[in-house]
Amino acid sequence: MQKRRVRHAVTWQQQRHMIIQLFCLSGLYLVAWTPFLVVYVINVLSDPTFLNQVTTDYLGDMLYLVHLFLPWMSFILFPELRKWLLKSCSFRQRRNTVGISPSRNAPGATQLRAAVGVSQAVNRQSQT
């Protein structure tokens, strides 16, 4: 037997969607890292005290924004993840079931139906 590799054609729409995902995730990292790297390069090349206080107070903390926004970006950009999360976290109202009803073909089901019918008939007679 010869194994064949199934080659699925990737459509332009799928490629466009992947490019958008790539640029959005890359942009998130660029927005967080660019100010820190610019200040760092200026510190190394010319002035070691350039924006030291701002770097320690703000720019170092901006790097953590990537970890804050990454789950939300993933939720927005990946529809399969969104469907899975919504399906697994949906709070559907479940039907209230008290017990298990016997199957019509189960052994003894006819006796049970007959007993229920007799008790219903007795209840009707006692009400009249």
More confident residue, 128 or 74: 74
Which spans in the chain are helix H?
12-45, 52-54, 60-62, 65-77, 79-88, 109-127
Q: Which 8-state DSSP code applies to residue 59?
A: I
* pLDDT tens per residue across span 17-49: 999 999 999 999 999 999 999 999 999 999 899
**What does the pLDDT average to over 95-120?**
57
In single-letter form, the type of residue at position 98 comes to: V
* pLDDT tens per residue across span 52-102: 998 888 888 888 989 999 999 988 898 888 888 888 887 666 666 666 665
Q: What is the pLDDT of residue 14?
A: 87
Residue 119 predicted with pLDDT over 60: no
Helix axis angle for 65-77 and 79-88, nearest 10°, is 90
Residue 2 predicted with pLDDT over 60: no
Closest CA to 25 of 65, 85, 66, 80: 66
This prediction's pTM? 0.56
Cα-Cα-Cα-Cα dihedral of 21, 22, 24, 28, to 10°? 140
Q: What is the pLDDT of residue 108?
A: 54
| SS3 label, residue 77 | helix
Helix axis angle for 65-77 and 12-45, nearest 10°, is 170
